[in-house]
Amino acid sequence: MNIWESTISSWQVLYANKMRSSLTILGIVIGVSAVVFLVSFGRGHEANITGIFESMGANAIYITSASSMTQGITGATGSITLEDAEALANPNRAPSVALVAPLTEKLAKVVYGDENSTVDIMGTTPDIAQVISYPVEIGEFITEQDVRRGARVAVLGSKTVTDLFKTENPLGETIRISGTQFEVIGVLEEKGGFIGSADDFIIIPLTTMQSRILGQTSARGRPIQTIAVKAMSTDQIDAATEEVTAILRQRHNIREGEDNDFTIIDMQEILSSMREVLGIMQVFLGSVGAISLLVGGIGIMNIMLVSVTERTREIGIRKAVGAKRRDILRQFLIESAMLSLSGGIIGLTIAALGTWAITGIELGPYPVKAPMGIDIVIIALTVAVVVGLASGIYPAYRAARLDPIESLRHE
Amino acid sequence: MIELKNIVKIYTLGEVKVAALNGVDCNIKTGEIVSIMGPSGSGKSTLMNLIGCLDRPTSGTYLLDGTDVSRLNDDQLAAIRNKKIGFVFQSFNLLPQATAVANVELPLVYSGTGNKRQRASEALELVGMAQRATHRPSEISGGEQQRVAIARALVNNPSLILADEPTGNLDTQTSKGIMLLLQRLNNQGITIILVTHEEDIAAYTQRTIYLRDGKIVSEKKR
């Protein structure tokens, strides 16, 4: 009896017992759909989080003022100044630092014609385009000259452009930010849908930001929110962090033993610890699914044992007409593998529907992603077949060993 | 074709050893049609199982077509059953979920023969069951089921058909039809051995062997 014939005859047997077969595979269906769904969801989640961090720049560290809580009563927002940023850009004192971009952000009302929108305005310097990658799609980015002159020019994120200009070409048009007119000189490439605000912001020169939006009379000595620093390479992030700390402590006259009045955020470090947490979560979710697969496997073994007992006479007939042990063994193994595989396929279908249903739902700050990778599909089906074979071995072995005479007498 | 020499079969039931066959010597030639009779517990079924290669004797030798089959392993016996022997049972023993033609194909499935459907159909034709090919056992009468079972026994061109009370579940008229069919097959050269406890049925055979307490006690030729 060849495999193909065994498969067809197994299918007929399973189909003839539809109700029982369906109930038997329920455990596998639930197990596979749970594992695949949760792993896909977990992966999508990880991709979203990674995306957020990566959109904030690889090799980047961020220096912000320590929160007012730790600083005490005075000096509420900030100890970090533009001069600090300039000091960090000194290659002699901070050789591991590649680029420095000071930045200050504020939500402001932006108006173009009849359209208006509240957008995150980022005042910064041209280097930000390299620290956090901001490729320009059309037009140009802000320049050093724009920063020196305090030019009223703006570079728009792609979503901001769509919101304000619809399909119109924004280049050269005038928009009003907090009442001040700005000329649109560039549009950034779309960064993707990781976070809602990834493409919804406007970049203007830092000096213009301070004088026009924040109403500060001079850029000099004024606090800025953040200094974005790009290390020479990923390996030099730690060195850059040390150099930055040393320079800032000295500039802020912080004595030995005193706390920093600034905070350094290392994106890579946060990302890797987030990944670790997500990894543990995935293992946890996977094990829950694995337990349900185990239970499903036991269910299959149980039903296969019942089936062997019920079909003792059939086994006797088959043996009488010439079935060898391996024929019977194979028949029952294929049956249990098919049971489990069908469970796996149904489970995958449910998981696919589930991931499809939740994809795009706005959950928290970004739309849910749940990519069902081909690797998960293959692993899930393989595991289903292995579970089926494993739970079929003992029943099939019992069937193969049945004595033909006694089997034929069995009622 | 069949040579049984001093065949002993002992079953162990718990502590007790029961000799179902206690020294059976018997020869059956190719082309014979033989019946085995005897009271319950005389060892008829045990003898049929041994001749049918479903079981092995505790001692003694059994030559089937000159081959000693008494010491073969399970799989070798399965192969012999498949190629040389066809079984007909009192309770038909057809697979309930399979159609008549699929039941007849079953031995071919295990011999790896091609043309299964065609050969099965021919066998059904031979027993007059061609029109019932796609019926399941539950949809046809007992006599028809037994004819399908005979077609299954025939399909692999066996040299021997063993029938264990083939008419035990059938009425007289139907029984007659089955016996005539078996006689016809015998006329085509197939050796047939059948177990029965009805003299009427035994009357269709050339020779009757009487068993009692695991031994052959007498023989009658017709």
Q: In degrees, to the nearest 5, what angle opens at C-alpha A233 toward C-alphas A229 and A236?
A: 80
Q: B95 and A405: CB-CB below 8 Å? A: no
Task: Give the pLDDT mean for B60-78.
Answer: 91
The rounded distance, in Å, linking the Cα atoms of A343 and A368 is: 27
Contact residues, chain B, for A12 at CB < 8 Å? 97
Tell me the C-alpha distance between B106 and A328, whole Å.
Answer: 13
Q: Which pLDDT does position B87 carry in this prediction? A: 94
Which residues have C-beta within 8 Å of that of residue A116, sequence separation ≥ 6?
A109, A110, A164
Residue A155: count other Cβ atoms within 10 Å of its Cβ: 26
A11 shares contact with chain B (CB less than 8 Å): no
Q: What is the pLDDT of residues A308-324, one digit of tens each?
A: 999 999 999 999 999 99
Tokens of A86: 């300039």
Question: Which of A321, A408, A411 is the mutation pick for testing B, counting most B CBs within 10 A?
Answer: A321
Rounded mean pLDDT of A257-272?
82
Token duo for residue A277: 């947490």
Q: Tens of pLDDT along A83-124?
A: 888 889 888 888 989 899 998 888 899 999 888 889 999 999
Distance CA A106, CA A195 (A): 18
- Is the per-residue pLDDT at A71 higher than 70? no
Nearest CB partner across the interface for B97, out of A16, A316, A405: A16
Provide the Cα torsion B119, B124, B128, B132; round to 10°: -130
**Which pLDDT value is given to residue A39?**
85
Average the pLDDT over A190-210 and give the result. Answer: 76
Taking 70 as the threshold, does the pLDDT of residue A219 lie above it? no
**Phi-psi sector, A161: left (phi>0), alpha (psi -120 to 50), beta:** alpha
Predicted TM-score of the model (pTM): 0.72
| Entry field: residues in chain B | 222
- Burial of B78-116, coded b for 16+ CB within 10 Å and e otherwise, reads bbbbbebbbbbbbbbbbbebbbbbbbbbbbbbbeeeeeb
Contact (Cβ atoms closer than 8 angstroms) between residue B38 and residue B45: no
Torsion of CA A321, A325, A329, A331, to 10 degrees: -20
C-alpha closest to that of A137 among A121, A159, A115, A116: A159
Q: Worst-scoring range by mean pLDDT, A51-60, B24-33, B50-59, B125-134?
A: A51-60
Query: What confidence tens digit (pLDDT) does each residue in B169-189 have?
Result: 899 999 999 999 999 999 999
Choose among A320, A325, A408: nearest Cβ to B81: A320
What is the arithmetic mean of pLDDT over A397-402?
94
The yes-or-no verdict on residue B7 having pLDDT over 90 is: yes
Task: Look at the block and give the residue holding tokens 């009757």.
Answer: B208
* Radius of gyration, alpha carbons of chain B: 17
pLDDT confidence of residue A1: 62
pLDDT band at A67 (very low <50, low <70, confident <90, very high): low
Say whether residue A330 is in contact with chain B using an 8 A CB cutoff.
no
Which pLDDT belongs to residue A69? 42
DSSP lists the bridge partners of residue A104 as A123
pLDDT at A2: 73
Say if residue B52's pLDDT is above 70. yes
The pLDDT, as a whole number, for residue A72 is: 40
Give the domains, in start order, of chain B with CATH numbers: 2-221 (3.40.50.300)
